[in-house]
Structure 1
């Protein structure tokens, strides 16, 4: 019965207009629903009659519809329409050309990719705790006054002393860190920041801790599940860059291959990932 594309009109930054995106999708036989202020995105996705669910928005909006796609065992189309588009970039989509990703509705190839969970809440990218999470909450309050927020990279470079570290207990081991980040698969690291992921289908959580002195140091380990205790309960967190309050302890896990991602044949998962899926 075709596909439906939900569009968050407040997410798009530059590039095609909402009207251009809607027109291109409708030309492929896709029903388009541009979200209005009072719309319940999750409920709309649950009630959609179509056999493919798509979302044009930032990572937070993508995660909401991806959750429904998993619950309903339906394919999911990701259209990069946010400011940073971390998930879209990491799965190999061209974030500068969102119209090209619409081809997945027509001749899309299905790839299984992983998702993470904190409790029962899904995340596509990561969950962060510590200084960054607190500033995400501050950003959300300031957004109501139309103020801006510095990016994670600038924040991390500014963490220079131990007074900004917090205490955590990770799988029973005490830890002091400025930022703790639990990622759906492994990121590339440099001295100051977390970069991109080469794969989103290796079935692991990657746990990063940033220690701030004169320079940042990152420590890393990989696992499939982790328990994190925080001193504050509930604690400030950021889930895919969006603010959340989570009860301590946090139980996080990876769900390998949970999301049925549709991509156009020219985009998406690399040759190695394709081979691993087709071999199953």
Structure 2
């Protein structure tokens, strides 16, 4: 007779209790809309869904049009939620709506905690301090974080050699980051690291992976998505340097798009077209608002087809391929990747033809016909044009069609501080798993990692 691990038994029992709390809270959210408020629950739900759809339609008109139609879209996007709130207050339905919302928040919190399994994050192993680390630092990245946090001096005090990235030629061109990394390896570096944006991180990471060297991420970029999903401190990048003296190593996947590495995402379509504009770097929001109408409703936006393993995605307006799936289909909205070592790509395809489909997308989310969400090991993108604009980790490129994205499982050794503030991202919310976990017969008989 086998004996259950007591720690595992307690963990699964705790997850089951949280799953039951999640189901009960969800049921309470529904009941609170109808008892004791009578038919008011239908009005709360109906008006909320209608308001969400109208607001989404307003956002579409704001992005896809100019002039009076854009103004109307802005008024609708802002005014509809206000009108719904006024309706709730005027009809005396706000207690029902507020109570249901509170129960729903509790339900979501319990559900995500139930699916989280301690010890199921990235596996780490002890790492020896490197003897000849070489760090490449971009002084301009992240608004000057290298200087602001004194990264050069702190790194050199820990025994690292620092190479500053900057103009090298008479025309102001920058040195090739990949060549600098290769030269460092040839000179005996036993670790490569980067303080800069995710695009630069990916290029140096590929060299580290090629030579089997550990790689150090220093969160000195603007957004630092890769650092966030590794659990690193994005507020104080100097804490990343602690890995040089007290670190541990983990293995993560490395994405590949036509031979170019990426650590986060490859974007096709609307976003990639916006990034291609030369004025985008200095005025992101203004550039997007200026060109969006032409891309979305003016017929100038490129359509393309994609195949994610065996799933066909025809005539897409936008496609995002990520190095491992995000926890929700909206990585731009702050979503995270629970794991970076599953050996799969995340795929999000968008095809929205007008305000009605935008409203459907807002109400139905991933169930909408305008949104396709998959996991795949290979994604191929084709188009009539000989080349496609592509944004690789936010960097604008043009690649010959067809464009193929793949993933190299556990190709990269990443050195991280043993003490890092980040917490594991919540796994994707799966209500079927929650229900099975809550009411399954066997204590350890479900898989909910």
User: Is TM more than 0.5 here?
Assistant: yes
The one of 325, 332, 344 equivalent to 1:204 is: 344
Task: State the distance in 2 between where 1:269 and 1:19 align.
Answer: 23
Residue 168 (structure 1) shift: 1.3
Partner of 1:142: 279
Task: State the distance in 2 between where 1:191 and 1:66 align.
Answer: 25
Are positions 1:28 and 2:28 aligned together? Answer: no
Unaligned runs of 5+ in 1: 273-280
TM-score (structure 1 length as normaliser): 0.85
Partner of 1:6: 136
1:153·1:192 contact (CA, 8 Å) conserved in 2? no
The one of 256, 265, 273 equivalent to 2:418 is: 265
Superimposed CA distance per residue, residues 40-83 of structure 1 (whole angstroms, 9 cap, x where no aligned partner): 22111111122010100001110111011011110000001111
Corresponding residue SS for 2:226 = helix
Superimposed CA distance per residue, residues 141-169 of structure 1 (whole angstroms, 9 cap, x where no aligned partner): 115xx7311299989x9887695572314
TM-score (structure 2 length as normaliser): 0.55
Superimposed CA distance per residue, residues 173-214 of structure 1 (whole angstroms, 9 cap, x where no aligned partner): 351222111111011336795522121111101111122232
Corresponding residue SS for 1:186 = coil
Task: State the distance in 2 between where 1:47 and 1:208 align.
Answer: 37
Corresponding residue SS for 1:232 = coil
Are positions 1:44 and 2:180 aligned together? Answer: yes
Partner of 2:243: 104
1:153·1:193 contact (CA, 8 Å) conserved in 2? no
Task: State the distance in 2 between where 1:185 and 1:218 align.
Answer: 18
The one of 215, 226, 234 equivalent to 1:76 is: 215
Corresponding residue SS for 2:245 = helix
Aligned length: 268
Are positions 1:167 and 2:304 aligned together? Answer: yes
Task: State the distance in 2 between where 1:242 and 1:84 align.
Answer: 13
CA RMSD of superposed structures (Å): 3.0
Task: State the distance in 2 between where 1:17 and 1:123 align.
Answer: 26
Task: State the distance in 2 between where 1:249 and 1:89 align.
Answer: 31
Corresponding residue SS for 2:235 = coil
Superimposed CA distance per residue, residues 219-252 of structure 1 (whole angstroms, 9 cap, x where no aligned partner): 1111111222122211111111101111111121
Residue 22 (structure 1) shift: 0.6
The structure whose residues are more often helix, as a share, is: 2
Q: Which has the larger radius of gyration?
A: 2
Corresponding residue SS for 1:196 = coil
Distance 1:161 1:121, change over 3 A: same
Partner of 1:243: 396
Unaligned runs of 5+ in 2: 1-130, 169-174, 362-369, 427-449
Superimposed CA distance per residue, residues 118-154 of structure 1 (whole angstroms, 9 cap, x where no aligned partner): 121111111111111011101xx115xx731129998
Task: State the distance in 2 between where 1:240 and 1:192 align.
Answer: 12
